Amino acid sequence: MRNIPIVYRLACCLLAWLFALPSAVLADADLDELVARLQQGGHVLMMRHAYAPGFGDPPQFRLENCTTQRNLDEKGRAQAVAVGEWLKSKGVLEAQVYSSQYCRCLETARLIDFGPVTPLPALNSFFERHQDREPNLRALKDFLIRQPADGPSLILVTHSVTIQTLAGLSVGPGQAVLLQLTPGHDAGVVGRLDFD
């Protein structure tokens, strides 16, 4: 067996720990604390749409025609309803809801049942529409910067690619990240919420 110097082994362990730290911190974030912050206002629950089987959208999809898109199935609808019920059971009773214009996001936003849903094009996916990436992100950041830190909390229903790019976190269907609003600055990531 080869003898690896202790300093090299320690350096490798330290690097592995540093790369794992953000995930570990977010994974260990206290769920009750995240919910309490959402109740206080001035926060954004950025949620990926509920379960929609498949991957991406058909080549000729159109935003105005749900039959051309990948949509929620019964599992996804039940998941969206369960997320809304879970949030309400934790005392989150008010939030302004915005959604991507994609049908699976709009349906998720309606099924969580927090009142009127406002379509927000900045939340649209750019997974297959790479030309939309920068304009969407710029518009979304501008939207978040304009929100008051002492205003109501927001629920934004969007896509994994948007959350991954904005927050640096990967989330599954129906999962979310919590962002803290700071007027004039980019929203900061507080933690990840998995409602399962």
Give the model confidence (pLDDT) of 74-87 as tens digits.
999 999 999 999 99
Tell me how far apart the alpha carbons of residues 193 and 158 are, in angstroms, rounded to a whole number: 15
What pLDDT does 87 receive?
Answer: 93
- The verdict on residue 14 lying in a domain is no
Cβ within 8 Å of residue 153, ≥6 positions away: 38, 39, 40, 41, 42, 43, 44, 45, 92, 94, 95, 96
- The verdict on residue 127 lying in a domain is yes
Q: Provide the 8-state DSSP code for 187.
A: P
pLDDT of 153 above 50 = yes
Residue 60: CATH number of its domain:
3.40.50.1240
Q: 3-state class of 142 per DSSP?
A: helix
- The verdict on residue 52 lying in a domain is yes
What pLDDT does 184 receive?
Answer: 76
**Residue 80 domain boundaries:** 30-193
Mean pLDDT, all residues of the chain: 83
CA atoms within 13 A on the CB side of 58: 11
- The verdict on residue 16 lying in a domain is no
pLDDT, tens only, 24-54 = 334 435 888 888 888 888 899 999 999 999 9
- The verdict on residue 58 lying in a domain is yes
Domain count within the chain: 1
- Going from the C-alpha of 132 to that of each of 68, 139, 153, 170, the distances in angstroms are 19, 11, 26, 20
Q: What percent of the chain has pLDDT over 70?
A: 84
R_g over Cα of the chain: 19
- The verdict on residue 9 lying in a domain is no
- The verdict on residue 11 lying in a domain is no
Tell me how far apart the alpha carbons of residues 96 and 81 are, in angstroms, rounded to a whole number: 17
What pLDDT does 27 receive?
Answer: 43
Tell me how far apart the alpha carbons of residues 51 and 79 are, in angstroms, rounded to a whole number: 7
